[in-house]
């Protein structure tokens, strides 16, 4: 087992494999009846969101972005939908920076995965806030 540590800048670091294991654990929380709807969803781990993306989304510098869903939600698709695979991007370093405790990190990765998957199912930000998935 790989133990997370601290980089020279004081931020927590973790191997790609160990972080991706947190993602696998989060996906295992998805009930079996929903999994067939996720077959065309690619989950990608990147280090940080780009400054251009943060600016385009109107996210202030003092806030972060842990994940992003791109694609066409299932509720907006027509029977003949033939788009590219939907993507969920998780921003590893943003999560590691804000959640240095392993239990907190595990919870936040799961919350982020569920939040972005909810967008895939057509749930908007207001409803996610009501559900406590914000």
Number of domains in the chain: 1
Q: Above 60 in pLDDT, residue 2? A: no
- Rounded Cα–Cα distance for residues 61 and 16 (Å): 25
Distance CA 112, CA 95 (A): 9
Establish if 3 belongs to a structural domain: no
Question: pLDDT: is 1 or 14 the higher one?
Answer: 14
**Phi/psi at 45 (nearest 5 deg)?**
-110, 125
Bridge partners of 67? 90
Q: Is residue 2 part of a domain?
A: no
Q: What is the pLDDT of residue 12?
A: 62
Q: What pLDDT is stored for residue 108 in this prediction? A: 94
> Domain for residue 39, yes or no?
yes
Average pLDDT, the chain: 84
Cβ neighbors of 56 (< 8 A, separation 6 or more) are: none
With H, G, I as helix, E, B as strand and everything else as coil, classify residue 60: coil
Question: Is 1 inside a domain boundary?
Answer: no
Checking if the pLDDT of 118 tops 70, the result is: yes
User: Residue 121's domain spans which residues?
Assistant: 10-76+84-129
Confirm whether 70 is domain-assigned: yes
Please report whether residue 4 resides in a domain. no
Identify any residues that bridge with 88 across adjacent strands, giving them in sequence order. Answer: 43, 69
Position 111 scores a pLDDT of 93
How do strand 86-91 and strand 67-70 relate by DSSP bridges? antiparallel
Q: In angstroms, how far is the first alpha carbon of the chain from the final one? A: 31
Kind and range of the H or E run holding 16? helix 16-27
Distance from the Cα of residue 43 to its chain's centroid? 8
Average pLDDT over residues 24-48: 90
CATH of residue 21's domain is 3.30.2010.20
Per-residue pLDDT tens over the stretch 85-105? 899 999 999 999 999 898 999
User: What local confidence, expressed as pLDDT, does residue 4 receive?
Assistant: 47
Give a yes or no: residue 68 inside a domain: yes
- Residue 134 maps to a domain: no
């Amino acid at each position: 087992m790989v133990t997370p540590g601290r980089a020279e800048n004081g931020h927590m670091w973790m191997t790609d494999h160990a972080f991706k294991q947190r993602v696998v654990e989060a996906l295992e929380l998805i009930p079996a009846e929903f999994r067939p709807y996720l077959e065309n969803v690619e989950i990608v781990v990147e280090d940080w969101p780009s400054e251009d993306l943060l600016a385009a989304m109107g996210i202030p510098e003092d806030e972060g972005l842990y994940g992003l869903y791109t694609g066409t939600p299932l509720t907006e698709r027509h029977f003949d939908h033939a788009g590219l695979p939907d993507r969920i991007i998780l921003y590893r370093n943003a999560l590691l920076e804000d959640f240095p405790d392993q239990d907190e990190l595990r919870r936040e990765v799961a919350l982020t995965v569920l939040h972005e998957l909810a967008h895939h199912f057509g749930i908007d930000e207001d409803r996610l806030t009501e559900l406590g998935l914000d």
